[in-house]
């Protein structure tokens, strides 16, 4: 008599609401530590403030709408699963491609910043090897299992949030409104605002990655809304506080090219010889580590889900027999990230990641609107408030941001579209 085949490993439901908050905030919080300041060189402080407010409205309406999808369809594919269900295989492909660009290119930018912070602390540490080393360390951590990864995420996220709160308290006495207003163009232009959008998106991008761990959340219908809503409130407060107070400490132009603006702001406020800026640079690694770690979780789940559904090579959809983690997906994403690091172009990597993000946001909101018509009886534990206005506003602003980024960055947009075309050819021939 033949023995029954061994059961296929499954993802484990172990993540609580608090751990989900830590993953959501952890995915994003590096955006408060670096990257956003590139927006000052394209838009000035006032134009960038307008860009940030526009993007904040987009994210608030998006998250309150996206939570409906994630709690109703808790699937590791996230946006891919929603679009596939609402729009069919091609819609699923487009959402999956956009999400992969978003989550594969956010980690190398964060890793490069980690290398820059380490080099700031000790100039004997080279930036690129340190950045690649981060991949080796955190892929190894994530191979051990989601329960251990979620616990680690909670610790580093709480530490990084507390550090930003202390940072804001330290620099508040040095804030001057005239510093924020100084050195700006006489008039704020629409073009200047549009140019700042991808860097404003960096304040919030990747929060949607919570959807990729939905299959590993305990009581997802209850805990996913709690995790999402508490995290977006946390991030809005931190983003606006860090940007405005940092601009008011001194000449913000000295900060706009740096991969380590937080310790530089402290040095500006307390003096170049201040040990506190060095201490904050070392503690600032927690924020970058939190985001790098959580983005590693998310990119691996997206690759795993796409491979499981036949959109990527099948071996990427396998789970480790002992740890139940997508080991090949973790390694493959790490290889892509390491290649991106060697380009040494953090700002361009951020723009490409933002392109993928806003394209995915628009597709996700269209999927929500279609599913409301197509599956009116679908169990929706959480429903978007002010429907249909919230998803319509989020979709409209996402399309506006997509158009603005493409208009301001034609070369990077060509790369994005070219890779989309090549990926679609693979998808099309594989389905024949």
Determine the pLDDT at residue 365: 98
Determine the pLDDT at residue 1: 42
3-state SS, 180-192, equals HHCCCCCCCCHHH
Dihedral (C-alpha) 177, 178, 182, 185: value to the nearest 10 degrees?
Answer: 70
pLDDT tens, 236-266?
Answer: 999 999 999 999 999 999 999 887 788 889 8
Confidence of residue 2 (pLDDT cuts 50, 70, 90): very low
Confidence of residue 21 (pLDDT cuts 50, 70, 90): very high
**What is the token pair recorded at 108?**
């190398």
Q: Does pLDDT of 220 surpass 60?
A: yes
Kindly report whether the peptide bond that precedes residue 137 is cis, defined as omega within 30 degrees of 0: no
Domains in the chain: ranges and CATH = 17-377+388-425 (1.20.1740.10)
pLDDT tens, 260-280?
Answer: 788 889 889 988 777 777 777
Closest CA to 118 of 126, 106, 110: 126
Determine the pLDDT at residue 12: 66
Q: Does pLDDT of 171 surpass 80?
A: yes
Q: What proportion of the chain, given as a percentage, has pLDDT over 90? A: 50
Higher pLDDT, 10 or 202: 202
Confidence of residue 15 (pLDDT cuts 50, 70, 90): confident
Distances in Å between the alpha carbon of 243 and those of 46, 86, 190, 352? 11, 38, 20, 22
Higher pLDDT, 220 or 246: 246
Determine the pLDDT at residue 68: 95
Higher pLDDT, 33 or 275: 33
Q: H or E segment at 164? A: helix 146-171
Task: State how far the Cα of 231 lies from the Cα of 366, in Å rounded to an integer.
Answer: 23
Q: Can you name the residues that pair with 15 across neighbouring β-strands?
A: 217
Determine the pLDDT at residue 265: 92
Segment 80-88 shows an average pLDDT of 94
Task: Tell me the three state secondary structure of residue 217.
Answer: strand
- According to the per-residue pLDDT averaged within each range, which of 16-20, 91-95, 301-305 is highest? 91-95
Segment 133-158 shows an average pLDDT of 80
Confidence of residue 348 (pLDDT cuts 50, 70, 90): confident
Average confidence score pLDDT of the chain: 88
Confidence of residue 350 (pLDDT cuts 50, 70, 90): confident
Q: Does pLDDT of 27 surpass 90?
A: no
Segment 131-149 shows an average pLDDT of 81
Confidence of residue 5 (pLDDT cuts 50, 70, 90): very low
Burial of 3 (0-12, 13-18, 19+ CB in 10 A): exposed
């Amino acid at each position: 008599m033949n023995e029954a085949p061994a059961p296929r490993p499954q993802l484990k439901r172990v993540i609580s609401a608090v751990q989900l908050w830590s993953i959501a905030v952890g995915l994003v919080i590096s955006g408060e530590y670096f990257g956003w300041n590139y927006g000052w060189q394209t838009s000035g402080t006032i134009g960038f403030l307008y860009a940030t407010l526009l993007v904040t409205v987009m994210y608030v309406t998006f998250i309150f709408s996206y939570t409906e999808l994630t709690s109703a369809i808790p699937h590791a594919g996230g946006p891919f699963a929603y679009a596939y269900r609402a729009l069919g295989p091609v819609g699923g492909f487009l959402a999956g491609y956009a999400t992969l660009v978003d989550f594969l290119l956010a980690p190398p930018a964060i890793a490069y910043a980690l290398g820059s912070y380490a080099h700031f602390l000790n100039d004997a540490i080279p930036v690129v090897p340190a950045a690649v080393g981060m991949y080796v360390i955190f892929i190894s951590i994530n191979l051990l299992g989601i329960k251990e990864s979620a616990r680690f995420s909670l610790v580093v996220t709480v530490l990084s949030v507390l550090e930003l709160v202390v940072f804001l308290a330290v620099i508040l006495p040095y804030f001057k409104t005239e510093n924020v207003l100084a050195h700006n163009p006489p008039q704020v232009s629409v073009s200047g605002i549009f140019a700042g959008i991808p860097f404003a998106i960096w304040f919030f991008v990747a929060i949607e990655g919570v959807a990729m761990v939905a299959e590993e959340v305990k009581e997802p219908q209850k805990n996913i809304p709690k995790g999402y809503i508490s995290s977006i409130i946390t991030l809005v407060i931190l983003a606006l506080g860090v940007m405005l107070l940092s601009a008011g400490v001194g000449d913000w132009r000295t900060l706009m090219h740096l991969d380590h603006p937080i310790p530089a702001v402290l040095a500006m406020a307390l003096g170049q010889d201040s040990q506190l800026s060095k201490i904050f640079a070392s503690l600032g690694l927690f924020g970058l580590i939190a985001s790098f770690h959580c983005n590693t979780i998310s990119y691996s789940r997206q690759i795993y889900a796409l491979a499981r559904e036949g959109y990527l090579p099948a071996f990427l959809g396998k789970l480790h027999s002992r740890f139940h983690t997508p080991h090949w997906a973790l390694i493959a994403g790490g290889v892509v990230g390491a290649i991106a690091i060697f380009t040494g172009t953090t700002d361009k990597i951020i723009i490409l990641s933002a392109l993928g993000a806003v394209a995915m946001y628009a597709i996700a909101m269209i999927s929500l609107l279609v599913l409301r018509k197509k599956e009116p009886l679908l169990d929706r534990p959480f429903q978007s408030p002010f429907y249909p206005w919230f998803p319509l506003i989020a979709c409209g602003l996402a399309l506006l941001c997509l158009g603005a980024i493409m208009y301001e960055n034609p070369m990077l947009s060509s790369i994005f579209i070219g890779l989309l075309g090549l990926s679609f050819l693979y998808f099309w021939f594989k389905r024949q």
